[in-house]
Copies of this chain bind each other. A is one copy, B any other.
Amino acid sequence: MDPVPIGEAARLLKINTSALRYYEEIGLVRPAARVGGRRTYGRAELRRLAFVQMAQELGFSLEVIAEVLDQPGGRWHEAIDAQIARLEVLIEQARRAQDFLVHARECTTANPVQECTTLAHVLDRRVDGLTLDEIAKEHHP
């Protein structure tokens, strides 16, 4: 089952063949070999591709992925730590966003942005230069 052509690799990974060629173009994943000019991917390459996909879902850019793949060891840990931190911020923000949205959903006025006094107040604080986080803290200090 080892060396598969590009179409099969694409099917396995649920990705477009054009994406595979693109990855090669930017030096991210090279096929194992060419057979009659055609790309073939082996187990190692499929793993590498699977890793690329997962890392993408975990929020890494292709640039960072290429970097950690080619400089194993140090950069690897750094990148992971950075991403863990980013995700922590993301989760925190998303939580607050949810709180805010749940509150906004309660509002019964037709055009909350102009008519809801609570929302208007928050927006005005915002115009005064406060961030969402600071406004949230103002309400739950």
Residues of chain B within 8 A (CB-CB) of A102 are 84
The answer to whether A54 touches B87, judged by C-beta atoms less than 8 angstroms apart, is no
Among B95, B104, B127, which residue has its beta carbon within 8 angstroms of that of A50?
A: B127
A67 to chain B, nearest CB (A): 13
The answer to whether A46 touches B84, judged by C-beta atoms less than 8 angstroms apart, is no
The answer to whether A69 touches B100, judged by C-beta atoms less than 8 angstroms apart, is no
The answer to whether B47 touches A111, judged by C-beta atoms less than 8 angstroms apart, is no
The answer to whether A101 touches B76, judged by C-beta atoms less than 8 angstroms apart, is no
Q: Is A137 an interface residue (CB 8 A)?
A: no
Q: Is A62 an interface residue (CB 8 A)?
A: no
Q: Is A12 an interface residue (CB 8 A)?
A: yes
Among B47, B77, B112, B126, which residue has its beta carbon within 8 angstroms of that of A53?
A: B126
Indicate whether A91 sits within 8 Å of B88 (C-beta atoms), given known contacts A50-B126, A81-B105, A127-B46. no
Q: What would 13 A/B residue contacts be, using CB atoms closer than 8 Å? A: A13-B127, A43-B124, A46-B123, A46-B127, A47-B120, A50-B123, A58-B101, A59-B94, A59-B97, A72-B110, A80-B101, A87-B97, A87-B101
- Which 8 pairs, one residue from A and one from B, show the smallest C-beta to C-beta distance? A50-B126, A72-B111, A50-B123, A58-B97, A47-B123, A87-B94, A46-B127, A72-B110
